[in-house]
Amino acid sequence: MDVIIMPTAAAAAKLTAQIIADAINEKPDFKLGLATGRTMESVYANLAKLNKQKKVDFSLVKTFNLDEYVGLEEDNVNSYRYYMNYHLFDKINIDKRNTHVPNGIAEDVDAAAAAYDEAIAECGGLDIQLLGIGRSGHIGFNEPLSSFSSRTRAVTLTQITYQQNSPLFDNPKDMPMRAVTMGVGTILEARRLVFLATGSEKANIVAKAIEGPVTSMISATAMQFHENVVAILDKDAAAKLANQAEYKWSFQHDPKWAAYQKVK
Ligand code: F6R
């Protein structure tokens, strides 16, 4: 895993967007796994800006989101489909038919979840999966004790996630207790993981996810099994990492990051 520590959350989001844009430019029919949440909003603002400046083209890109609440219609402002349209898809030159979000309103949610994994496999697998981290240590909505080989499925959200996300609903009690999420196993199959965490409230869980022992109590520790991961942090989210100086040294001296030194 490479760990990149940026001075600010804005710089971390800009770097994340640049890495994704560069990867798309190398492979126009890119398969991109997306995440939602507060952290990703500025990544999407940066990608929309790059698209407007014609520095990245989404016309052949296919996207697959990590998760969706069970029971929310697409036009519900709290659904992740709505979030994606609002923050990204309506602002870039993507064909909406190429964008996929798990189906949380299917009559048979399990069958729809299995079909989602099949759709990812059929298009050749994900080139990059973008990941954030919740206070429970979840990636996607893989709450503690999710199997590392889990597939896309319906799950019950933990109380800590309920506390994290319910303030985003007009009436916090409207937040569904269930969601459909890509499994940890599904996520680990992506060819590259790009993880972004910002803010001091993430510092403890980020340190556990990156430097702590691998445990299904913290789904994000499963990233340690993946051979191609970059974790991008701002200095607040990185604050509890023991080896910050080493990570900064590697970022400065690894030639693969040379082009990214100028991102501020
Ligand atoms: C959402 C997702 C979640 C979020 C996490 C952090 O699609 O995958 O794992 O990344 O809950 O959310 P924020 O950024 O709101 O702190």
Domains of the chain: 2-259 (3.40.50.1360)
Structure confidence at residue 119 (pLDDT): 98
Residue type, 136: S
Residue of the CA atom closest to atom 3 of ligand 1: 140
Q: What share of the chain is helix, strand, coil (3-state, %, to 5)?
A: 45, 15, 40
Cα dihedral across residues 12, 18, 23, 24: positive or negative? positive
Cβ neighbours around 118 below 10 Å, total: 11
pLDDT in tens, 190-201: 999 999 999 999
146 pLDDT band (50/70/90 cuts)?
Answer: very high
Cβ of 134 less than 6 Å from ligand 1? yes
Give the N- to C-terminal CA distance of the chain in Å, as an integer: 22
Model confidence band, residue 158 (pLDDT cutoffs 50, 70, 90): very high
Average pLDDT over residues 47-72: 98
* 4-42 confidence digits (pLDDT tens): 999 999 999 999 999 999 999 999 999 999 999 999 999
- Tell me: the pLDDT tens digits for 169-214? 999 999 999 999 999 999 999 999 999 999 999 999 999 999 999 9
Q: For residue 234, how far is the Cα from the chain centroid? A: 16
Query: Which class for 80: exposed (0-12), middle (13-18), buried (19 or more C-beta within 10 A)?
Result: buried
Best probe residue, ligand 1, of 78, 141, 233 (max atoms within 8 Å of C-beta): 141
What would the mean pLDDT of 108-123 be, rounded to a whole number?
Answer: 97
What does the pLDDT average to over 135-143? 97
pLDDT over 90, % of the chain: 100
pLDDT at 230: 98
Q: Supply the pTM of this predicted model.
A: 0.98
Residue 80 alpha carbon, nearest atom of ligand 1: 7
Give me the residues paired with residue 229 across strands.
193
